[in-house]
């Protein structure tokens, strides 16, 4: 029966359906085509794991992940940026240490994600990590992917054999003092370092110790602080351990790191970042039960026992021809619980997305370490760690520091003297001043 | 000019211009590639070396980067490392290549093709394979060289971890890599030394050393000039070996000018400064090559 109202209702219904159809068609049209992501090894596997879920929501799009390799990826991105963005992938996985430099040296190289709505995600990430992914103008250029805090991995069996209670070690001085006893009882060195630093930078321990004192190479104003009291104290601690004969000289690089975690090089403590927890389990399954995990000791009694030790971001290249798709993919992978879970499952990188950290099952007991691994790292994120200012000159400072450390470890140089020289060198190469 | 003369002139010009344009047409790809990939980068690098990036903008600083070079202790360190390696490695390698070439040329040598190939193979070895090979051989704890040293009662040598030994390692790797190349050049030149000279000298009672000194060496002089200049340029640009073996360390002991240029450009994003280093290196190479050509030419005269 065709009544007037019935017909009107039907027309309205048809119109709505048609409009809805149009809307769907429009949004589907917006998200189409192909984008490429540049990353490396485990983080690349993480990004890859988010693709099926994203494609299910937006059929017809293609996401390609290229494992460019690290550190090759930095040369590749730098070259592309210097060429005005030519040849870059659409989505770039960028380390926190490179972020500020890319944003400042190549303005317009990375897409301003604030204009695409990235600011809505800010509250869901740790503020310090979020700030390092933003430019001086506050615009967002990268969404935090990995957020690393410092892990303190130690060989339970060796400490037990030497009769040292790990819980009695509160400071690094305590730890270094226990070194000779440990070595005598077990033959193991306390810690490994690449003394000549000919393979990698070998500054990880100093950065951790300095971070634990709330300092870094630069202060918040960008002045050089690497030769300040905290920096000198850190290098003095390293020298003390070296002079005590408990530092093994192991070249840097991944293979040598693997030998340490597999117990092939006899080292009792590995202060690696949180991402390493997953690596221990997957690469050295035979060592289950032998490695323990705790918060790092503080430098001064009662000081910080947490440090942010790096992290990475996903950014979109300004030259991407499909920025909308690139951004939507980044938003899905890092800004939704579903995406984050897939990424975490695939790559095991420690996330910074708060809903993920609070989600059910994220903190679970690891049989390998016999501890609730992720709880340590969440605790660290909760501590009042300072914002780490990498500035545009991090690479120079890192190199100058590494050379200073080599002089201390190989020829017993005085920490204060070499750090003063290193700071003067960085000041001479840049327009920065040394903090008073 | 009168009208009747015009037409033949035009025809002549037409006929003449076609063969004149053709050679240039054939040269065009070379010229275009040369302009695009050689001249343009040179000119652009020259411009870059006069600028620096400040707050994301390229600003003109005149000779500022060159002035900074004069007071940069790391640049002097890189320069002295490079020159030290040059002064030791080039004579060592060329002397070795000379001996090899004479040996390869000797009728007494059996399986010559195998020997020649064996010494030439390192040249074609890829950088990465070469880097892995040497870092494995020279590894302090597990390297076969230290294993051999220990098995005959000698102490282990920290090949890559000590400032002195790291330089030695670079020199060894460099010599291994390029000696075959110079040897092949010498060997080719040796074919042009007439055999009668040796026969005559032998009849006159010249010793083997006298024959080498008075016949072989003078005969090789053009090749020696060439290899000295080429090896000097190669060593001044040294980059591969420190890059794959020592990363310029420890404490800049093996930092070369090429490595320092790379660090400034690709690690510190300081393209202006890196370009200035490149131009200073070019200047040094030009001056040294000129001096070498002069010296070796005078000797010949």
Tell which residue, A242, A101, A197, A121, has the closest CA to residue A403: A197
- Region B69-95: what's the mean pLDDT? 94
What order do you get walking across the sheet with A91-95 strand by strand?
Answer: A62-67, A34-39, A91-95, A308-316, A143-149
pLDDT score of A56: 95
- The answer to whether A41 and A282 have CB atoms below 8 angstroms apart is no
C-alpha R_g of chain B: 26
pLDDT score of A3: 41
CB contacts < 8 A, A to B, total 69
pLDDT score of A13: 44
Q: Is A396 found in the same domain as A354?
A: no
> Is B161 an 8 Å CB contact of chain A?
yes
Q: A71: cis peptide before it, omega within 30°?
A: yes
Owner of token pair 């920096």: A231
Q: Is residue A382 part of a domain?
A: no
pLDDT score of B82: 94
Residue B254: closest CA among chain A residues belongs to which residue? A198
Chain A residues close to B250, C-beta within 8 Å: 195-198, 406, 410
- First CA to last CA across chain B, in angstroms? 57
pLDDT score of A277: 87
Number of compact structural domains in chain A: 2
Q: Is A280 found in the same domain as A184?
A: yes
> Is A112 an 8 Å CB contact of chain B?
no
Q: Is A293 found in the same domain as A423?
A: yes
- Which of residues B240 and A10 earns the better pLDDT score? B240
Inter-chain touch B56–A106, beta carbons under 8 Å = yes
Residue B58: closest CA among chain A residues belongs to which residue? A105
Res A5 pLDDT > 50: no
> Is B267 an 8 Å CB contact of chain A?
yes
Domain containing residue A355: CATH number: 3.40.190.10
Q: Is A298 found in the same domain as A261?
A: yes
Q: Is residue A356 part of a domain?
A: yes
Res B7 pLDDT > 60: no
Q: Is A303 found in the same domain as A154?
A: yes
> Is A427 an 8 Å CB contact of chain B?
no
pLDDT score of A19: 44
Question: In the Cβ-directed half-sphere of B201, how many Cα atoms lie within 13 Å?
Answer: 16
Read off the pLDDT of residues B125-182 as tens digits, 9 standing for 90 and up: 888 888 888 988 988 877 899 999 989 988 888 888 888 999 999 999 999 999 999 9
On the 0-12 / 13-18 / 19+ scale of CB atoms within 10 A, B180 is buried
> Is B97 an 8 Å CB contact of chain A?
no
On the 0-12 / 13-18 / 19+ scale of CB atoms within 10 A, A187 is exposed
Read off the pLDDT of residues A379-419 as tens digits, 9 standing for 90 and up: 888 888 877 888 888 989 999 999 999 999 999 999 999 99
3-class DSSP string for chain B: CCHHHHHHHHHHHHHHHHHHHHHHHHHHHHHHHHHHHHHHHHHHHHHHCCEEEECCEEEECCCHHHHHHHCCHHHHHHHHHHHHHHHHHHHHHHHHHHHHHHHHHCCCCCCHHHHHHHHHHHHHCCHHHHHHHHHHHCCCCCCHHHHHHHHCCCCCCCCCCCHHHHHHHHHHHHHHHHHHHHHHHHHHHHCCCCHHHHHHHHHCCCCHHHHHHHHHHHHHHHHHHHHHHHHHHHHHCCCHHHHHHCCCCCCCCCCCHHHHHHHHHHHCCCHHHHHHHHHHHHHHHHHHHHHHHHHHHHHHC
Q: Is residue A369 part of a domain?
A: no
Q: Is residue A210 part of a domain?
A: yes
Res A318 pLDDT > 60: yes
Chain A residues close to B249, C-beta within 8 Å: 196-198, 402-403, 406
- The DSSP 8-state label assigned to residue A252 in this structure reads -
Chain B residues close to A425, C-beta within 8 Å: 73-74
Rounded to the nearest 10 degrees, the angle between the axes of helix B217-236 and helix B163-190 is 140
A377 to chain B, closest Cα gap in Å: 30
Chain B residues close to A407, C-beta within 8 Å: 251
Inter-chain touch A105–B249, beta carbons under 8 Å = no
% of chain A surpassing 70 pLDDT: 93
Domain with A219 in it: 149-307+387-430
pLDDT score of B19: 64
Chain B residues close to A195, C-beta within 8 Å: 161, 250
Q: How confident is the model at residue A16 (pLDDT cuts 50, 70, 90)?
A: very low
Cβ-nearest to B56 among A105, A196, A393: A105
% of chain A surpassing 90 pLDDT: 62
Inter-chain touch A197–B166, beta carbons under 8 Å = no
pLDDT score of A223: 93
Q: Is A265 found in the same domain as A122?
A: no
Q: Is A319 found in the same domain as A407?
A: no
Owner of token pair 């290196």: B281
> Is B225 an 8 Å CB contact of chain A?
no
pLDDT score of A418: 96
Inter-chain touch B166–A399, beta carbons under 8 Å = no
Q: Is A211 found in the same domain as A349?
A: no
Element (H, E) at A330: helix A323-335
d(CA A352, CA B55): 30
- Region B17-40: what's the mean pLDDT? 86
pLDDT score of A10: 45
Q: Is residue A192 part of a domain?
A: yes
> Is A421 an 8 Å CB contact of chain B?
no
Who contacts B245 (Cβ-Cβ below 8 Å, separation ≥6)?
A198, B131, B134, B135, B138, B160, B166, B169, B170, B173, B254
B23-41: b (≥16 Cβ within 10 Å) or e: eeeeeeeeeeeeeeeeeee
Cβ-nearest to B250 among A74, A196, A399: A196
Range in A116-120, A380-384, B83-87 the model is least confident about: A380-384
pLDDT score of A384: 80
Q: Is A233 found in the same domain as A264?
A: yes
- Region B97-118: what's the mean pLDDT? 86
d(CA B148, CA B145): 5
B139 phi and psi angles, rounded to 5 deg: -55, 135
Inter-chain touch A196–B158, beta carbons under 8 Å = yes
A125 phi and psi angles, rounded to 5 deg: -125, 155
Q: What ipTM, to 2 d.p.?
A: 0.79
Average pLDDT taken over every residue of chain A = 88
Cβ-nearest to B269 among A101, A195, A407: A101
Inter-chain touch A407–B251, beta carbons under 8 Å = yes
Q: Is A232 found in the same domain as A303?
A: yes
d(CA B298, CA B301): 5
- The answer to whether B157 and B165 have CB atoms below 8 angstroms apart is yes
Q: How confident is the model at residue B15 (pLDDT cuts 50, 70, 90)?
A: low
Q: Is residue A373 part of a domain?
A: no
Read off the pLDDT of residues B172-210 as tens digits, 9 standing for 90 and up: 999 999 999 999 999 999 998 888 888 899 898 888 889
Owner of token pair 């009849």: B203
> Is A393 an 8 Å CB contact of chain B?
yes
Inter-chain touch B162–A393, beta carbons under 8 Å = no
Q: Is residue A377 part of a domain?
A: no
Q: Is A318 found in the same domain as A239?
A: no
Q: Is residue A107 part of a domain?
A: yes
- The DSSP 8-state label assigned to residue A95 in this structure reads E
Res A314 pLDDT > 70: yes
Q: Which of A349, A364, A379 is the last residue of a domain?
A: A364
pLDDT score of B281: 94
Q: Is A358 helix (H, G, I), strand (E, B) or coil?
A: coil
Chain A residues close to B69, C-beta within 8 Å: none
pLDDT score of B14: 53
Q: Is A355 found in the same domain as A318?
A: yes
Q: Is A427 helix (H, G, I), strand (E, B) or coil?
A: helix
> Is B44 an 8 Å CB contact of chain A?
no
d(CA A142, CA A162): 47
């Amino acid at each position: 029966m065709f009544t007037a109202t019935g017909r009107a209702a039907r027309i309205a219904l048809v119109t709505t359906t048609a409009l809805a159809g149009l809307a769907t068609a429009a949004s589907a049209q917006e998200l189409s085509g192909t984008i490429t992501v540049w990353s490396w090894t485990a983080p690349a596997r993480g990004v890859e794991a988010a693709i099926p879920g994203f494609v299910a929501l937006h059929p017809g799009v293609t996401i390609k992940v290229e494992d460019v390799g690290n550190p090759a990826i930095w040369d590749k991105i730098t070259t592309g940026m210097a060429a005005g963005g030519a040849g870059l992938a659409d989505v770039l996985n960028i380390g926190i240490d490179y972020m500020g430099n890319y944003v400042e040296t190549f303005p317009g190289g990375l897409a301003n994600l604030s204009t695409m709505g990235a600011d809505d995600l800010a509250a869901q990430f740790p503020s310090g990590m979020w700030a390092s992914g933003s430019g001086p103008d506050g615009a967002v250029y990268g969404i935090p992917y990995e957020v690393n805090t410092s892990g303190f991995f130690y060989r339970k069996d060796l400490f037990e054999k030497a009769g040292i209670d790990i819980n009695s070690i509160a400071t690094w001085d305590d730890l270094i003092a226990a070194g000779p006893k440990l070595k005598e009882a077990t033959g193991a060195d306390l810690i490994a370092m690449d003394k000549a630093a000919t393979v990698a930078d070998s500054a990880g321990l100093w950065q951790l110790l300095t971070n634990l004192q709330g300092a870094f190479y630069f202060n918040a104003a960008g002045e050089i602080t690497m030769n300040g009291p905290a920096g000198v104290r850190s290098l003095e601690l390293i020298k003390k351990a070296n002079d005590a004969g408990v530092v093994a000289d192991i070249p840097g690089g991944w293979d040598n790191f693997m030998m340490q975690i597999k117990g092939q090089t006899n080292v009792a403590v590995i202060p690696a970042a949180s991402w390493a927890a997953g690596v221990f389990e997957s690469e050295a399954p035979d060592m289950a039960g032998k490695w323990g995990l705790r918060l790092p000791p503080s430098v001064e009694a009662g000081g910080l026992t947490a440090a942010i030790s790096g992290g990475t971001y996903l950014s979109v290249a300004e030259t991407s021809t499909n920025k909308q798709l690139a951004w939507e993919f980044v938003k899905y992978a890092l800004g939704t619980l579903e995406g984050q879970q897939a990424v975490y499952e695939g790559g095991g990188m420690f996330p910074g997305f708060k809903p993920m950290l609070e989600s059910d099952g994220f903190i679970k007991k690891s049989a390998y370490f016999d501890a609730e691994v992720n709880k340590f790292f969440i605790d660290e994120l909760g501590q009042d760690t300072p914002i780490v200012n990498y500035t545009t000159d991090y690479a120079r400072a890192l190199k100058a520091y590494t050379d200073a450390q080599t002089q201390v470890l190989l020829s017993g140089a005085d920490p204060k003297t070499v750090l003063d020289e290193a700071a003067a060198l960085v000041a001479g190469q840049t327009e920065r001043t040394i903090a008073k | 000019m009168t009208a009747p003369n015009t037409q033949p002139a035009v025809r002549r010009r037409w006929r003449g211009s076609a063969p004149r344009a053709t050679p240039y047409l054939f040269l065009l790809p070379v010229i275009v590639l040369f302009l695009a990939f050689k001249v343009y980068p040179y000119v652009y690098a020259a411009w870059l070396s006069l600028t620096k990036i400040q707050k994301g903008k390229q600003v003109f600083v005149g000779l500022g980067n060159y002035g900074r070079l004069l007071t940069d202790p790391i640049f002097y360190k890189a320069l002295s490392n490079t020159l030290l390696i040059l002064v030791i490695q080039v004579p060592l390698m060329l002397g070795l290549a000379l001996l090899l070439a004479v040996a390869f040329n000797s009728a007494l040598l059996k399986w010559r093709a195998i020997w020649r190939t064996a010494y030439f193979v390192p040249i074609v070895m890829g950088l990465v394979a070469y880097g892995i090979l040497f870092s494995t051989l020279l590894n302090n704890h597990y390297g076969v060289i230290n294993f051999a040293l220990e098995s005959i009662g000698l102490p282990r040598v920290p090949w890559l971890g000590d400032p002195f030994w790291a330089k030695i390692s670079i020199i060894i790797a460099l010599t291994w890599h390029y000696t075959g190349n110079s040897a092949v050049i010498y060997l080719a030149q040796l074919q042009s030394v007439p055999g009668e000279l040796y026969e005559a000298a032998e009849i006159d009672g010249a010793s083997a050393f006298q024959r080498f000194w008075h016949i072989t060496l003078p005969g090789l002089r053009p090749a020696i000039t060439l290899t000295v200049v080429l090896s000097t340029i190669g060593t001044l640009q040294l980059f591969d070996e420190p890059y794959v073996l020592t990363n310029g360390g420890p404490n800049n002991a093996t930092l070369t000018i090429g490595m320092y240029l790379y660090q400034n450009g690709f690690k510190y994003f300081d393209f202006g400064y890196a370009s200035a280093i490149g131009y200073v290196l070019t200047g040094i190479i030009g001056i040294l090559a000129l001096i070498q050509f002069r010296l070796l030419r005078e000797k010949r005269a």
